Structure 1
């Protein structure tokens, strides 16, 4: 079971997160708080694996509350906000994900899946001789042949029904795996999701352009244009800040 805590000064917002958590049988809600000081105390007492933390709260902000907790005792954090442009501060705290209000259900499920993957990764790190959790290469069928695609060679990935299209230069290799499932096997230090149907290799991004609807236009180093939806923009900024 993953132990989860919810911190938000708005009771309705906490209700929304709690209702979404209730849909997952492997989640145990261990506490709620409506302000920073109470959150710090409860985190110390309950030791959650994951906290959904509102950024803007009266008095102490969610980010300041997390800063007050020693890194060794700090839980995984998904930051919640109605505003943008807090990713750099979140990166400093190694925030797991960034959800804009109103919360998108699919993004919420994805944040939980990222938390599950992060906890599995921590377990792997603590076991000597355990192979790394992130995929380094993929085998794909090309006609009658089997091609091996190195993760380092991938520029970006797109959803294609039950397949994922691995873009390597001018070639596209179809991997029989849904994009959402594949996203959990990719190293988040190298890849980030920018849309429900798109994952990009972070070091391939050459420039960003903000759009009027709060989406973002990316251009890769080879000139390929890609669109980042507003629900992934903060995650994108945090990934770039980490480079």
Structure 2
């Protein structure tokens, strides 16, 4: 059972997150806080597995709460905000995800699934310690097996430029070719290394280092162009996470 806390100074926002979590049989809400100081005390005492936490709150921001917690007490965090200027700092605190209000249902489910995967990985005892004592990152898949006629081909993850949803499959665009993989885009998004791949649309994932150009649109959507010239649309739901990844890749 995953123990989750919810922190937001807006009662409707808190109740909205709790209502979504109520449909998850493997989740127990273990703490609800309306401000930063009470959240800091509660999180340190109760030590939940995951916290949904608002970034902007009076007195103490969500990021300040996370930064003030000792690393051993800091839960996985999914950041919630109505603003778009905190993503880079959020990922610097190893946040699982960053959701822009009003929260999209699919993005909420994707972020929660990523948290499940990380918690299962730690609980499974595969969180090996590095020589310096830090916990190593989970092993992301390095290749995918795809069927081409009667043959099984292996597509290296490093060769994938972008991925698009295709019914019950996804299309892997790699080295100028397209391969069908029987897996939903939603599930695949939780299995890819978030430092290398980022979702930019409900139907599209792109490899960050393949992005050559980004052009903002008037409706807060954007268009990006890959190094091979492929144009892809970025929806406003995903633009802030994309900007954070691009900022991190260039720093």
**TM-score interval (norm. to shorter):** over 0.9
For residue 5 of structure 2, what is the aligned residue in structure 1?
5
| 148-157 or 228-237, which deviates more | 228-237
Q: How does 1:35-50 map to 2 (within 5 A)?
A: 35-50=35-50
Structure 1 Cα separation of the partners of residues 126 and 223 of structure 2: 36
Aligned length: 242
- 1:72 to partner: Cα distance: 2.7
Deviation string, structure 1 residues 46-74 (Cα, Å, up to 9, x no partner):
10111111011111111111111122321
Structure 2 Cα separation of the partners of residues 225 and 198 of structure 1: 12
- 1:115 to partner: Cα distance: 0.5
Deviation string, structure 1 residues 26-50 (Cα, Å, up to 9, x no partner):
0011101111111100001110111
Structure 2 residue runs without a partner (length 5+): 130-137
Q: How does 1:58-207 map to 2 (within 5 A)?
A: 58-123=58-123, 124-126=125-127, 133-207=139-213
Cα RMSD after superposing both structures? 1.8
- Aligned pair 1:224/2:230, yes or no? yes
Instruction: Detail structure 1 runs of 4+ shifted over 4 Å in the superposition.
Output: none
Structure 1 Cα separation of the partners of residues 118 and 246 of structure 2: 19
Please tell me whether the aligned partners of residues 133 and 185 of structure 1 are also in contact (alpha carbons under 8 angstroms).
no
Structure 1 Cα separation of the partners of residues 127 and 199 of structure 2: 27
- 1:213 to partner: Cα distance: 1.2
Please tell me whether the aligned partners of residues 218 and 227 of structure 1 are also in contact (alpha carbons under 8 angstroms).
yes
TM-score, structure 2 normalization: 0.91
Please tell me whether the aligned partners of residues 156 and 166 of structure 1 are also in contact (alpha carbons under 8 angstroms).
yes
- 1:127 to partner: Cα distance: 5.6
Structure 2 Cα separation of the partners of residues 76 and 10 of structure 1: 21
Please tell me whether the aligned partners of residues 91 and 241 of structure 1 are also in contact (alpha carbons under 8 angstroms).
no
Structure 2 Cα separation of the partners of residues 120 and 136 of structure 1: 20
TM-score, structure 1 normalization: 0.94
For residue 24 of structure 2, what is the aligned residue in structure 1?
24
**Secondary structure of 2:198's partner?**
strand
